[in-house]
């Protein structure tokens, strides 16, 4: 974004969005670190496939509760305060995980971590969308997903550093407190969401918040204040309001993408990348984590590409390109396992397929679900609707992470990945049928799209 002539004009809002986007580091670090830590936790605690899935799945099930908490309190306490709360909870959970004496304490600690991630993932993208100008909102909200990918990459590096250490997994999970501390320090310096302030009737505070993140003059800020006020309800929405026709039309998109983002199998790759690579013939823990590191690097680089394309090429086009790549890579990964373990060709195909999968996900379902889930709902119900999408996303994250290893036992590696590939084809149809183009439109204009859809 440094080459963009608008970057200097948008400097304050970019810094604000990047700081709030650090919430994604909590999500990404834990997602990535458990991949390496599980290689040591499994023999240390004598875990079977179900127990391993439970250790991994504890975070997404905790995140469901965290997202529910966000739906209750985001409008009452404000977006910024909840992001700070999530950072504090994550610090507690990371330290408790590192000190866990047995499987039960580890699972409970990871549920606590999940609660923090659920709050952060429900609130941070909404906060960024509410402070962002329409023409760069896509790339600013994608800062959240970029932080997720950076967190995964950092976690892989930490996993590599402690791969051969005695009980190195404790350091892996415990160091998750570091990004949480960084988020807590950064978030206290940010302004509250101007749209939330207006919903609370604090017009002057909203005006001052906009002045902190905009370089436009007073007239432009007054115009934005009036546009927001003219389109918003004056009351905090209820869960019943989600049944209004326009909101329901938006929820079809938000919840549909929440489910499809997960059941195309992304977390089977992120959580179990070292395990997948080992099963193609690489025996060393360190070597398998190193191969996974390449996946993490590709994930970051392609998310940077998405930052530059989402506001120029649009959401729909990037979804079509990315989801096509996801399906192809999954069928190719299944073929690699069909060829058989201990084959150099199978190992090369598996690593290439993983990188293609992650690249495709990083320019499409990865950032675009979080972006659309933050921008398509009316202000009065935005926190509840976005939290509903987030809860759904984390619930299906839990289901996929818990069932992946048993699914392999049932269908074999080839059958499992081909199953996910078919779901990718279903996702293509869903995007063509239901997802509108929202680039360059204000949040209020996006609401009008779904209101028109509801009216037929």
pLDDT in tens, 54-85: 888 788 889 989 999 988 888 888 888 999 99
Residue range 312-339: mean pLDDT, rounded: 90
User: Structural domain of residue 441, as residue ranges?
Assistant: 11-190+233-455
CA distance linking residue 373 with residue 394, whole number of Å: 13
Q: In this predicted model, which residue has the larger pLDDT, 77 or 344?
A: 77
CA distance linking residue 200 with residue 213, whole number of Å: 19
Answer whether residue 98 shows pLDDT above 70. yes
Residue range 385-399: mean pLDDT, rounded: 88
Res. 336 pLDDT band, cuts 50 70 90: confident
**Residue 355 domain-assigned (yes or no):** yes
Contact 268, 56 (CB under 8 A): no
> What's residue 270's pLDDT?
65
**Residue 1 domain-assigned (yes or no):** no
Q: For tokens 């084959």, what's the residue? A: 343
Res. 281 pLDDT band, cuts 50 70 90: low
Per-residue pLDDT tens over the stretch 367-384: 899 889 888 988 778 888
Domain of 142: which CATH number?
1.20.1250.20
Contact 208, 177 (CB under 8 A): no
**Residue 426 domain-assigned (yes or no):** yes
Number of domains into which the chain is organized = 1
**Residue 117 domain-assigned (yes or no):** yes
Dihedral sign of CA atoms 375, 59, 263, 345 in order: positive
Answer whether residue 271 shows pLDDT above 70. no
CA distance linking residue 172 with residue 345, whole number of Å: 32
Backbone angles phi, psi at 341, to 5 degrees: -70, 165
Most confident of 26-35, 60-69, 210-219, 347-356: 60-69
Neighbouring C-beta atoms of residue 51, cutoff 10 Å? 15
Answer whether residue 176 shows pLDDT above 50. yes
- Under DSSP, is residue 284 helix (H, G, I), strand (E, B) or coil? coil
Residue range 233-254: mean pLDDT, rounded: 81
> What's residue 18's pLDDT?
85
Residue range 180-208: mean pLDDT, rounded: 87
CA distance linking residue 420 with residue 400, whole number of Å: 10
CA distance linking residue 56 with residue 360, whole number of Å: 24
Backbone angles phi, psi at 48, to 5 degrees: -90, -175
- Under DSSP, is residue 325 helix (H, G, I), strand (E, B) or coil? helix
CA distance readout (Å), 48 to 38, 119, 405 = 11, 30, 10
Least confident residue range of 39-43, 70-74, 91-95, 399-403: 399-403
CA distance linking residue 271 with residue 155, whole number of Å: 11
Contacts of 191 (CB under 8 A, 6+ apart): 16, 80, 131, 208, 209, 212, 213
Q: In this predicted model, which residue has the larger pLDDT, 320 or 265?
A: 320
Burial letters for 206-219: b for 16+ Cβ neighbours within 10 Å, e otherwise?
bbebbbebbeeeee
Q: In this predicted model, which residue has the larger pLDDT, 325 or 161?
A: 325
Question: What percent of the chain is modeled with pLDDT above 90?
Answer: 27
DSSP one-letter string for 120-189: HHHHHHHHHHHHS-GGGHHHHHHHHHHHHHHHHHHHHHHHHHTTTSTTHHHHHHHTTHHHHHHHHHHHTT
Answer whether residue 14 shows pLDDT above 60. yes
Could you say which DSSP state residue 262 is in?
Answer: H
Residue range 331-346: mean pLDDT, rounded: 80
> What's residue 353's pLDDT?
87
Mean pLDDT of the chain: 84
CA distance linking residue 401 with residue 265, whole number of Å: 9
Burial letters for 90-127: b for 16+ Cβ neighbours within 10 Å, e otherwise?
bbbbbebbbebeebeebbebbbbbbbbbbbbbbbbbbb
Least confident residue range of 33-37, 330-334, 395-399: 33-37
> What's residue 251's pLDDT?
93
Res. 2 pLDDT band, cuts 50 70 90: very low
Answer whether residue 256 shows pLDDT above 70. yes
Per-residue pLDDT tens over the stretch 123-133: 998 888 888 88
Q: In this predicted model, which residue has the larger pLDDT, 334 or 228?
A: 334
Answer whether residue 88 shows pLDDT above 80. yes
CA distance readout (Å), 290 to 151, 152, 294, 343 = 16, 13, 7, 19
Res. 257 pLDDT band, cuts 50 70 90: very high
Tokens found for residue 213: 């993140």
Answer whether residue 6 shows pLDDT above 70. no
**Residue 211 domain-assigned (yes or no):** no
**Residue 364 domain-assigned (yes or no):** yes
CA distance linking residue 448 with residue 356, whole number of Å: 36
**Residue 227 domain-assigned (yes or no):** no
Res. 292 pLDDT band, cuts 50 70 90: low
**Residue 379 domain-assigned (yes or no):** yes
> What's residue 7's pLDDT?
52
Answer whether residue 341 shows pLDDT above 70. no
Q: In this predicted model, which residue has the larger pLDDT, 13 or 281?
A: 13
């Amino acid at each position: 974004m440094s080459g963009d002539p608008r970057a200097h004009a948008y400097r304050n809002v970019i810094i604000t969005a990047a700081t709030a986007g650090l919430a994604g580091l909590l999500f990404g670090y834990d997602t990535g670190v458990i991949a390496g830590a599980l290689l040591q936790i499994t023999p240390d605690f004598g875990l079977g496939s179900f127990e391993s899935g439970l250790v991994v799945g504890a975070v997404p099930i905790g995140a469901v509760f965290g997202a529910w908490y966000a739906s209750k309190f985001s409008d009452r306490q404000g977006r910024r305060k909840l992001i700070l709360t999530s950072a504090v909870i994550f610090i507690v959970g990371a330290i408790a995980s590192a000190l866990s004496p047995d499987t039960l304490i580890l699972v409970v600690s990871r549920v606590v971590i999940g609660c923090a991630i659920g709050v952060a993932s429900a609130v941070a993208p909404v906060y960024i969308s509410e402070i962002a100008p329409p023409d760069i909102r896509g790339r600013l909200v994608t800062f959240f997903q970029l932080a997720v990918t950076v967190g995964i990459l950092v976690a892989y590096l930490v996993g590599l550093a402690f791969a051969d250490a005695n009980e190195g997994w404790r350091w892996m999970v415990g160091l998750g407190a570091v990004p949480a501390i960084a988020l807590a320090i950064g978030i206290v310096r940010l302004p509250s969401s101007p749209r939330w302030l207006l919903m609370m009737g604090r017009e002057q505070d909203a005006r001052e918040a906009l002045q902190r993140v905009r370089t436009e003059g007073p007239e432009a800020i007054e115009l934005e204040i009036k546009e927001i006020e003219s389109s918003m309800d004056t009351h905090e929405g209820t869960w019943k309001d989600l049944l209004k026709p326009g909101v329901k039309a938006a929820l079809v998109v938000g919840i549909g993408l929440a489910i499809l983002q997960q059941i195309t199998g992304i977390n089977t790759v992120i959580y179990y990348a070292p395990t997948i690579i080992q099963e193609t013939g690489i025996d060393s823990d360190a070597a398998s984590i190193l191969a996974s590191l390449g996946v993490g690097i590709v994930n970051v680089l392609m998310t940077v590409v998405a930052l530059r394309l989402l506001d120029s090429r649009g959401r729909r086009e990037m979804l079509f390109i990315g989801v096509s790549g996801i399906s192809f890579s999954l069928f190719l990964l299944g073929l690699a396992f069909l060829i058989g373990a201990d084959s150099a060709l199978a190992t090369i195909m598996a690593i290439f397929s993983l990188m293609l999968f992650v690249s495709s996900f990083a320019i499409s379902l990865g950032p675009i679900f979080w972006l659309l889930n933050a921008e398509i709902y009316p202000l009065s119900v935005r926190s509840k609707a976005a939290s509903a999408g987030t809860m759904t996303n984390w619930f299906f994250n839990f289901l996929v992470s818990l069932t992946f290893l048993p699914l392999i036992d049932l269908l074999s590696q080839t059958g499992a990945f081909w199953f996910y590939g078919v779901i990718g084809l279903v996702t293509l149809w869903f995007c063509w049928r239901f997802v509108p183009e929202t680039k360059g439109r204000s949040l209020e204009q996006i609401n009008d799209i779904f209101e028109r859809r509801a009216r037929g």
